[in-house]
């Protein structure tokens, strides 16, 4: 999850970063509809090309905590499977933390073994932060 904040231009830049990183990682980008309208309500019409996807997950109770993450039990509303939802918080798109996230996602994607938990999907969730 990344929180976009600051003024209009800062928010635009942070969302463009999120679009690029999501594309590289093959992750779904979740952008609040309100944010898309506020940020991209311009004549270029770029906002309409960003899809607002719903995660389709129903979050239940917290089951664990890591250094950078909180893990929840959740239900995948499409397959109806119980899954572990791991939320990793990024204060910004600092290159070191992006590299760290990318490594974990890319390695987990390649692993396919009965004793290793399968990565089903990755999302980059953009949240609204304070305006200034
Ligand atoms: N798929 C899962 N099923 C059940 N519990 C899980 C699952 N994934 C993580 N957890 C729980 O959440 C905790 C945190 O997991 P996470 O992967 O975020 O961090 P970690 O790798 O254990 O720790 P760190 O990030 O500090 O090295 C785990 O210790 C475990 O208790």
Contacts (Cβ under 8 Å, ≥6 apart) of 24: 102
> 74 CB less than 6 Å from ligand 1?
no
| pTM for the full predicted model | 0.77
> What is the rounded distance in angstroms from the CA atom of residue 70 to the CA atom of residue 110?
23
> 63 CB less than 6 Å from ligand 1?
yes
- pLDDT for 34 equals 60
Instruction: List, in sequence order, the alpha helices (H) in the chain.
Output: 8-25, 33-40, 95-110
Q: What is the per-residue pLDDT across 73-103, written as a single tens digit (0 to 9) for each?
A: 999 888 999 999 998 877 667 788 888 888 8
């Amino acid at each position: 999850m990344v929180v976009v904040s600051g003024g209009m231009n800062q928010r635009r830049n942070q969302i463009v970063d999120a679009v690029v990183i999501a594309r590289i990682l093959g992750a779904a980008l979740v952008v609040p509809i309100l944010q898309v309208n506020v940020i991209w309500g311009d004549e270029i019409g770029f906002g309409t090309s960003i899809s607002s996807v719903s995660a389709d997950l129903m979050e239940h109770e917290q089951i664990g905590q890591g250094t950078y993450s909180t893990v929840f039990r959740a239900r995948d509303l499409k397959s109806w499977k119980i899954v572990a939802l791991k939320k990793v918080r990024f204060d910004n798109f600092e290159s070191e933390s992006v590299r760290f996230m990318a490594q974990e996602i890319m390695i987990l994607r390649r692993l396919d073994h009965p004793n290793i938990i399968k990565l089903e999907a990755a999302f980059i969730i953009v949240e609204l932060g304070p305006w200034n």
